[in-house]
Amino acid sequence: MTIDYSSPAVKGRKIWGEVVPYDRPWRTGANAATKLSASGSFTFGGKPVPAGTYSLYTIPGKTTWTVALNSSTDVWGNDGYDAKKDVARVQITPAASGARERMTFLFSNTTDSSTQIDLEWEKLRVSVPLTVDTKAKALANISDAVESGWRPYWSSARYLLENGGDLDKALQFVDQSIAIKPTWMNHWVRAQILDKKGRAQEAVATAEKTVQLGAGDRTFESVYKADVTKSLSGWKQKL
C-alpha cells in the first residue's frame, strides 16, 4: 500500500474550522487529492475494497470525521469530490496527538494482516484500520506453487530429451512431474523418452494417454495433436 499526498504546513494558522472548514469535503492535503493505492484487496474501516488506486477524501467535523475512498483519482482540490463514487466510507472520532507542523500520513500498528492509516496534523490524529486476508493469500500462493510444481520436472525432462541428455534421468524427472499433476504435456515427453529407449509398447500407451488428456485443450488441438497422432501411428507399426 502507498499513499501519495502533498503536505501543507500549519504556519501559525488555525487549521480546524478555518484553513480546513468543518463539514465540507477536503482533499486531505494540498494540490491534487490524496491517493491510496493497494496491490491487493483489503478492508478500509471494515468495508471491503478491491485492489486499485483511490482518492482519499475526508469531511472533518468538530467531533466526528468522515473518511472516504473514492473511485475518481484525477481530481484536483476539493471541488471534484462526488460522494456517489465512494467505494468505502467510515466515521472516525479523531484523537489528540503531539504537535505536527506538516500534515503527515503514517502506517502504524502493523501486523501480518492489519495496519492503520494515521493522518496527523497540528495536534490531531485521525486513524482508519485496514486489514488484509493474509492467510487466504498465503494459502492461494501455496496452492498455485503446488499446482505448478509439475512444470520444473517436465521442463527438465524435455531439455534432456531434446538435447541428447541422460534418458534415464529424463524419465525419472517426467515421472515426478506426472506424480504431481498428470498433463498431456508431461505424458507427451514421457512417450517420446520411452520411444527413444526402445520401449515402444509403453510409448504407445503413454501417447494414447496424451491424446486423452489433450482433448479440448486449444494448444494441444491446434499445435501438437497432429504430431502426436503421427508418432503414435508409427510406434504402433513397430509393434
Question: Which pLDDT tens digit goes with each residue over 95-126?
Answer: 999 999 999 999 999 999 999 999 999 999 99
Asked whether residue 196 is domain-assigned, the answer is yes
Closest CA to 34 of 86, 88, 75: 75
- Mark whether 124 and 159 lie in a shared domain: no
Strand stretches in 51-170, DSSP E: 52-59, 65-70, 86-92, 95-108, 114-131
Segments of the chain scoring below 50 in pLDDT? none
Overall domain count for the chain: 2
d(CA 201, CA 195): 9
Question: Which pLDDT tens digit goes with each residue over 60-97?
Answer: 999 999 999 999 998 877 777 899 999 999 999 999 99
- Mark whether 51 and 121 lie in a shared domain: yes
pLDDT of residue 168: 97
Domain boundary among 134, 162, 190: 134
- Mark whether 130 and 153 lie in a shared domain: no
Q: Which domain holds residue 8?
A: 2-134
pLDDT of residue 182: 95
pLDDT of residue 147: 80
- Mark whether 65 and 170 lie in a shared domain: no
Q: List phi, psi (to 5°) of 175.
A: -65, -35
Asked whether residue 140 is domain-assigned, the answer is no
To the question of pTM greater than 0.75 for the whole model, the response is no
- Mark whether 10 and 67 lie in a shared domain: yes
Q: List phi, psi (to 5°) of 11.
A: 55, 40
